[in-house]
Structures are given as structure tokens and as C-alpha cells.
Amino acid sequence: MFKDIIDTINWEETQAKIYAKTSSDVERALTKERLTVDDFMALLSPAAQAYLEPMAQLSRRYTMERFGKTIQFFIPLYMTNSCTNHCVYCGFNAGNEIQRIVLNEQQILEEAESIKKMGNFQHIILLTGENPKVADVSYIEKAIRIVKPYFSTVNVEVQPLDSDGYRQLIGAGLHGVTCFQETYNQNRYKIYHPKGMKSNYEWRVNAFDRMAQAGVHKIGLGVLIGLEDWRTDLTMMAIHLRYLEKHYWQTRYAVSFPRIRPHEGKEFHPNSVMSDSELAQTIFAFRIFDHSLDLTLSTRDDVEFRNHMMTLGVTSVSAGSKTNPGGYSVYPAELEQFAVNDDRSPDEMQEVVKAQGYEVVWKDWDLILQ
């Protein structure tokens, strides 16, 4: 399990190594076809900021070789904002006095039908807060069966499950699972997750092993940028990614780059701020590190940045997203998990992609490449 690996890696020492990287280290990394984690640290270091142009060119080249001039569209469907966690950065925090919604089977169906009217979406992700009393494995399984006739692939972003739970969802038609570790800094993890299921660091970080062991086809990783030093957190995630690819090589992997956004409840001020140029650097670094990785940008990021990055390394974007349960057909946006930064419709997004000479892929990559 990955927890055994992460226990051997010192956060402070890793951070010091990243910030000690020089321009020579960056230049050396840019000449290599197969990067080590140490090379990745160089591309993520402050020294690499002076090399954004050659990094962007490499990122574009590797993306074109693997994915061509295509961008995949997906859409999230939030099924409940009920949550037992007290994450200090989230609008679904159990301590926030908001209306809690749990969509029933009919409402989930109505949401799916509303999404289909918005565009030709074939790739959907179902999301919940973490409250197994109202959204357990059986609830999620039923939801997958409800929406599966409408979409080619169904992914979930829900509380970490045991392997049997993932197998149960695969039997219902599950394709992939996204799970954000939020931060790999064990010593400070509970500062951000003081109470609730999510406060168990070990259960969460080992969830990715359980997913792969259960046979989940695609696994998505991410850290919440703004909690801890983002360079160190992302390096830890790169180590995690390499571990997973080595042990579960038949599984496909994706990486997301969520930055903290305004949300309901007490305002949380990021401890580590990432600029747009630094996020671009991160995307380039991951593409050069792993040429076949699916790199995702959500509507957390703004219009101009998303437009620009769609030709430089990103392969998947959400469009027309609502982050509140029932947001497409039933309930108001005041119940959203976080405020979106790009509220363009799927049609508007499609026109932007076409204007850049790219093609929209509504389905999953596997189905296109078969």
C-alpha cells in the first residue's frame, strides 16, 4: 500500500530538494525522454520559471503525439451536499448551515435528461459529499444504473470505499474514480480535515490501491492547491502516480489541478498561492513527466486560462458545470460546493475549441481509439 511508501518520504527534505534545483537541472530534464521524479522536481522548481516556453513546446508536442488536436468534454452531476466532514475549505462542510439535499432516483434521472439536452455529453462524473448514511454504496450503485443508459462512461467522486464497494460499482457500469488526497502532508492533514471520515489520512491515501485492486479502469488524482506548499504536494503526487503505474500498469490515470475557490461558510485563506503561470508550469511538467496522462481543467479556472491551455497540454475540460445537487433541473446555485470561474455553455465551449483548430471529443478516449 502507498502509505508504506509515503511514510519513508520526508516532507521538509523533499521541499528543500525542489527549491535547490538549478537551471542546469532544468536543462538536463528537458533533454530526457523518460523523466525521474528528481527531474520532475526540477521542472516544478522556481528555477524552471525561466524555461516556460521550451516546456510549453515539449508539452504541446507530447500531447499532440498521444491525443492529437482533440479536447474531451465531461460534466459533473452532484447528487448530494450532505457530508459528515468538516473540511475547512469546502462549502459542504458539515458545520455550514446550508440546506442539505439528497437527490432521489427520479431527480437523478431528471438531472441526466437535463444534461443531455445541454449537449452531446457521453462522459459524466457523479459526485457526493461523504455521508454514507444517505449516500452509501447502494445509493451510488443505483445512480450509476440510472444514468448509464444516457452516457458511454460513468465516473464517480465519492467517499473512499473498500475494494468490495468498488467492485460492486464496477458491476453497475462504473468506469473510473476520482479522489483528491487534498494534501500529502501527514503532519498537517488534520488541520484541514479535523473531523469526519476524511480525517483518516491512511484510509484515504490507500484508497487508490483499493481502486486498482478492484479493477477500476481509470483513476484520477489531485491535490487541493492552496493548502500546503504546492510544489511539494505535487511532487508527492508524482511519486504516488509512479507507484500506481508500476504496480497497476493496466489502469489508466488522470490528474487534476484544483485551486481553492470561494465557498459557503467561513472564508479560508490559502497558505500557498499558485499563479496562472505557475499552474501552466505544473501542467507542462506533468505532461513531460508522463506523455499519456489525462490532464484535466475544471470550471474552477477562468476563461482565458482554460482557452490558452487547451492547446498546450490539457486533454479534458468540464463545460456547463453546476456544483450543487440538482443544479441542472431542480435547485438553486446557492447550494454549490464552490463558485465556478467559467460559466460558458457547452455550445460556447465547443465553438472556442473549434476556433483553435481542435475537435471536441464527447466520449471517452478508449471508445474513440478502439
Q: Which residues contact 262 (CB under 8 A, 6 or more apart)?
A: 338, 339
Contacts 24+ apart (CB under 8 A), 352-356: 352/307, 352/310, 353/71, 353/310, 356/307, 356/310, 356/311
- Give the tens place of pLDDT for each residue, 18-45: 999 999 999 999 999 999 999 999 999 9
In DSSP terms, 102 is beta-bridged to: 80
Answer whether residue 99 shows pLDDT above 90.
Answer: no
Between β-strands 174-182 and 218-223, what pairing exists: parallel, antiparallel or unpaired? parallel
pTM (two decimals): 0.94
What pLDDT was estimated at residue 319? Answer: 87
- Give the tens place of pLDDT for each residue, 129-144: 999 999 999 999 999 9
The CATH number for 125's domain is: 3.20.20.70
The Cα 346–Cα 121 span in angstroms is 9
- From first CA to last CA, the distance across the chain in angstroms is 32
**Do 216 and 170 contact (CB within 8 A), yes or no?**
yes
Helix (H) / strand (E) containing 163: helix 163-172
Residue 77 belongs to what domain range? 2-369
H helix and E strand count, the chain: 16, 9
**For the chain, how many structural domains are there in total?**
1
Per cent of the chain over pLDDT 90 is 80
